[in-house]
Amino acid sequence: MNMKFWQTVGKHSNSVLSKTDPEIFSIVDRENLRKNNTIELIASANTVSPAVLEAMGSELINKVVEGYIGQRYFSGCTEIDKLENLAIHRAKQVFGATYANVQPHSCSQANQSVHLALMKPGDSFLGMDLMHGGHLSHGARTTLTAHHYTSLSYPVSREDEYLDYDQILKQAKEVRPKLIIAGASAYSRTIDFKRFRDIADQVGAFLLVDMAHIAGLVAAGLHPSPIAHAHIVTSSTQKTLRGPRGGIALMGKETANEYGHKLDSAIFPGLQGAAHMHTIAAKAVALEEALQPDFVVYQQNVLDNAKTLAEALMQSGFRLVSGGTDNHLMILDLRSQGMTGKEAEERLENVGITVNKNLIPYDLQKPWICSGIRIGTAAVTTRGFGPTEMHAIATMLDKILNKKLTAQIIQEVRHQVSIICRHHPLHIEEDIDNEHSYRA
Ligand code: DSN
């Protein structure tokens, strides 16, 4: 059996859970099966290595830990201190940072901590509009930070759907925010962090870069790094970085000394309680994986796959927001298909392809309907998909979203999805039947 590094053996012969709680075991088992039989195109999704998974489920889950190395509120932290130290060291090494905090439970909480560290209630901040690709934690009305601070947002240009840095500068001069947030959840173009810093400097604002989506690309040197430009950088660890669900906060040498202690205090005890040491161990494992030469190859493949898929989709008549992609994701505007994002998401799930409905810039639909879908290539690239599969996916999306849907098309696409998934198993359970081929 020729296993790839991310693959696990799907059998559960040694499972305790199957005996003590068959109900939960069965849900986990069926979710494994669903993921194995599904083409995962959700841009924030990925699959961790068995090593990350093992660290996550390790004995460390049982250790209660509060505070930081050398200043713990509980005893018995000798090994834990070594672990956190190593995770911090690796985070700094991967991103060329001077400061790292590996305790945030998520990137959203890391972002909230930055507000707590740098702002007073009522201060204003300027983040990318959710409808234009920003993240909920960048100021969406329903969130904690929008309740406690004055949240303002910048759009992308109506003309080309790129960030318009001149307009952002103009807006920043008008509203004089205390903090500017750069970074996105659904923006397919390279972000100019230097330009953002220039804008922040001109209005005396702090610059926070949330690189959650592109962290893996940054780690591999395939997207410009924000470390030298932002006052603080935050990220989640589970997206392109391919680690466990969690967050990190980083700073370069310019700000580490001045703001490191403030941010530490904002994360704990400001916002969070006990640290999740099993997750920190898993973050450390993923960061070590990100230091390997293979990781750069993987990230380049993510980019190449996104480009191939984007071009194939455009050839099939789909309109991509901003006309393409520079990173791992793309947004399809489905208005000319006469379809909402919600309907497209449902149609695709029905044939075994997962995506998420997504607002497009200046969308007239509600956020739970949307005019588009977001597609990313991180998870399928982990699984070993390449150009052949990207063309096959574009053809399947064309059949399901562009054409009049018939029972026969649904059957055909379901069959094709199952063959592709069998050729790229996430969990090795049986030999692949090489008689089937989707390279028709
Ligand atoms: N931030 C959300 C996303 O981009 O999908 C979830 O991680």
CA distances from 245 to 109, 155, 241 (A): 12, 28, 10
Q: Among 109, 111, 130, 135, which residue has the most ligand 1 atoms within 8 Å of its CB, making it the best to mutate?
A: 135
DSSP 3-state of 125: strand
Listed residue (178, 168, 96) closest to 145, CA to CA: 178
Separation of CA 114 and ligand 1 centre (Å): 19
103 domain-assigned: yes
Q: Are residues 224 and 202 in the same domain?
A: yes
80 domain-assigned: yes
Whether omega for the bond prior to residue 269 falls within 30 degrees of 0, making it cis, is: yes
Determine if ligand 1 sits within 6 Å of the CB of residue 307.
no
What distance in Å separates the CA atoms of residue 323 and residue 332, rounded to the nearest whole number? 10
Separation of CA 149 and ligand 1 centre (Å): 22
Domain boundary among 237, 271, 290: 290
CA 397 to chain centre: 22
What distance in Å separates the CA atoms of residue 253 and residue 268, rounded to the nearest whole number? 22
Listed residue (208, 186, 429, 231) closest to 329, CA to CA: 186
400 is in which domain, residue-wise?
301-440
Q: Among 105, 107, 185, 331, which residue has the most ligand 1 atoms within 8 Å of its CB, making it the best to mutate?
A: 185
DSSP 3-state of 209: strand
Determine if ligand 1 sits within 6 Å of the CB of residue 185.
yes
Q: Are residues 424 and 345 in the same domain?
A: yes
Q: What is the DSSP letter of 399?
A: I
What distance in Å separates the CA atoms of residue 227 and residue 95, rounded to the nearest whole number? 7
Q: Are residues 211 and 170 in the same domain?
A: yes
What distance in Å separates the CA atoms of residue 360 and residue 357, rounded to the nearest whole number? 10
Q: What is the pLDDT of residue 436?
A: 39
Q: Please tell me the residue having the least CA distance from ligand 1 atom 5.
A: 44
Domain boundary among 290, 323, 355: 290
Q: Are residues 188 and 97 in the same domain?
A: yes
CATH code for the domain in which residue 178 is found: 3.40.640.10
Q: Are residues 232 and 337 in the same domain?
A: no
**Nearest atom in ligand 1 to 136's CA:** 1
275 domain-assigned: yes
Separation of CA 18 and ligand 1 centre (Å): 31
Q: Are residues 257 and 355 in the same domain?
A: no
Q: Evaluate if pTM is beyond 0.85.
A: yes
Helix H or strand E segment including 51: helix 50-56
Q: Are residues 343 and 384 in the same domain?
A: yes
Amino acid at 270: G
16 domain-assigned: no
What distance in Å separates the CA atoms of residue 435 and residue 440, rounded to the nearest whole number? 12
Determine if ligand 1 sits within 6 Å of the CB of residue 135.
yes
Domain boundary among 290, 316, 342: 290
CATH code for the domain in which residue 380 is found: 3.90.1150.10
Determine if ligand 1 sits within 6 Å of the CB of residue 106.
no
Q: Are residues 75 and 212 in the same domain?
A: yes
Query: Are the C-beta atoms of residues 438 and 419 closer than 8 Å to each other?
Result: yes
Q: What is the pLDDT of residue 427?
A: 75
What distance in Å separates the CA atoms of residue 432 and residue 384, rounded to the nearest whole number? 15
Q: Are residues 253 and 330 in the same domain?
A: no
360 domain-assigned: yes
6 domain-assigned: no
Listed residue (79, 80, 54) closest to 67, CA to CA: 80
Determine if ligand 1 sits within 6 Å of the CB of residue 44.
yes
Q: Please tell me the residue having the least CA distance from ligand 1 atom 4.
A: 185
Q: DSSP string spanning 288-357?
A: HHHTSHHHHHHHHHHHHHHHHHHHHHHHTTPEEGGGS-SSSEEEEE-GGGT--HHHHHHHHHHTTEE-EE
Listed residue (205, 204, 207, 202) closest to 181, CA to CA: 207
266 domain-assigned: yes
Q: Are residues 228 and 309 in the same domain?
A: no
* Cβ neighbours for 353, distance < 8 A, ≥ 6 positions apart: 38, 39, 41, 393, 396, 397, 400, 417
13 domain-assigned: no
Q: Among 40, 41, 42, 44, which residue has the most ligand 1 atoms within 8 Å of its CB, making it the best to mutate?
A: 44
Give, for all 440 residues of the chain, the pLDDT tens digit. 567 766 766 555 578 999 999 999 999 999 999 999 999 999 999 999 999 999 999 999 999 999 999 999 999 999 999 999 999 999 999 999 999 999 999 999 999 999 999 999 999 999 999 999 999 999 999 999 999 999 999 999 999 999 999 999 999 999 999 999 999 999 999 999 999 999 999 999 999 999 999 999 999 999 999 999 999 999 999 999 999 999 999 999 999 999 999 999 999 999 999 999 999 999 999 999 999 999 999 999 999 999 999 999 999 999 999 999 999 999 999 999 999 999 999 999 999 999 999 999 999 999 999 999 999 999 999 999 999 999 999 999 999 998 789 999 999 999 999 999 999 998 765 433 443 333 33
Q: How many domains does the chain have?
A: 2
Q: Are residues 165 and 305 in the same domain?
A: no
Listed residue (151, 150, 235) closest to 185, CA to CA: 235
Separation of CA 412 and ligand 1 centre (Å): 31
**Nearest atom in ligand 1 to 212's CA:** 1
Q: Are residues 241 and 317 in the same domain?
A: no
DSSP 3-state of 124: strand
